[in-house]
Amino acid sequence: ESEKTQLIVSRNNGKNLFYIQTRDTVLSKPGVRRAMAMALDLDELAAAASNGTGEANGSMVSQDSVYFSETQKKRLPYDIEAAKKELADAGYNGEPITIIANKRGNVPSFPPAVMAQAMMQQVGLNIQIEVLDYATQVDRRRSGNYQVISQSVAPRLDPVLMYAFYVGNKDKNASLMWDDPKAIELMKAAYVEADPAKRQTIFDEFHELMLKEMPGIFLYDMVDVWGATKKLKGQPVWQSNTRLWEVSVDD
């Protein structure tokens, strides 16, 4: 900041996450995926990857959502010994796992991958990183040709719209992450349910199932960092867009 400018830090409903290919030979076992999640000190990773602007959130539901309940705050514990046990029980034997990342400056893809690699190696996971240009990374995700992808997903205002980006029939759409029949059933139920209390129950059940299956590891909600004149009053940023109401400029 300077005398004339201000820094505006605004969280949005977008997601920074690790996609996991649940059909991969090694990663098809939920125990391996849970071990990956338990190897991460998510608070430390989120703070470092976001330069202190982001806060860990292991849910598909945004922290700013009315549906971000106590259940949504649950994450698998950061527990190195428990992670090692999960790997042993799953029969993991040092097989290589590659995280695909890109180095675009406006999204945290590469830094979380590097931190996750170091943390996951501590529990015995053999993690490699492959850096691709963004277009190639998108092609790999859409074709399902990956093990893990470090990426960001733009804001979607209702949790079920976020679910729809990840959940569904992978035979029909290879870009989807999770094809658990119960997850699909819960997503469809949330689409047609209007009662907020009943929707909350659906979202909470979905999150509990996600913690068991870990089809992906959600790191933290996306953060917008904008600069503006100090004359600007109000909150001019909303969901990565400029917000022009209830905003004024002092002369």
pLDDT digits 0-9 by tens, 6-39: 776 767 778 999 999 999 999 999 999 999 999 9
CB 221, CB 20: distance < 8 Å: no
Question: Facing residues of 242 across strands?
Answer: 237
By DSSP bridging, strand 248-249 and strand 232-233 are antiparallel
Dist CA 171 CA 177 (whole Å): 11
Per-residue pLDDT band for 43 (boundaries 50, 70, 90) equals very high
Per-residue pLDDT band for 243 (boundaries 50, 70, 90) equals low
Q: Which residues contact 85 (CB under 8 A, 6 or more apart)?
A: none
* Range in 74-83, 169-178, 206-215, 229-238 the model is least confident about: 229-238
Whether the pLDDT of residue 106 is over 80: the answer is no
Dist CA 29 CA 145 (whole Å): 18
pTM to 2 decimal places = 0.88
Percent share of the chain, pLDDT over 70: 91
Q: Could you report the per-residue pLDDT of 167-207, keeping only the tens digit for each?
A: 999 999 999 999 999 999 999 999 999 999 999 999 999 99
The predicted pLDDT at position 246 comes to 65
Alpha helices in 97-158 (DSSP H): 110-121, 134-143
Output DSSP code: residue 246: S
R_g (Cα) of the chain, nearest Å: 19
Q: What is the mean pLDDT of residues 118-139?
A: 96
For residue 250, what are its two tokens? Answer: 């002092």
Q: What is the DSSP string of 29-93?
A: SHHHHHHHHHT--HHHHHHHHTTT---B--SSS-TTSTT--TGGG------HHHHHHHHHHHT--
Per-residue pLDDT band for 239 (boundaries 50, 70, 90) equals low
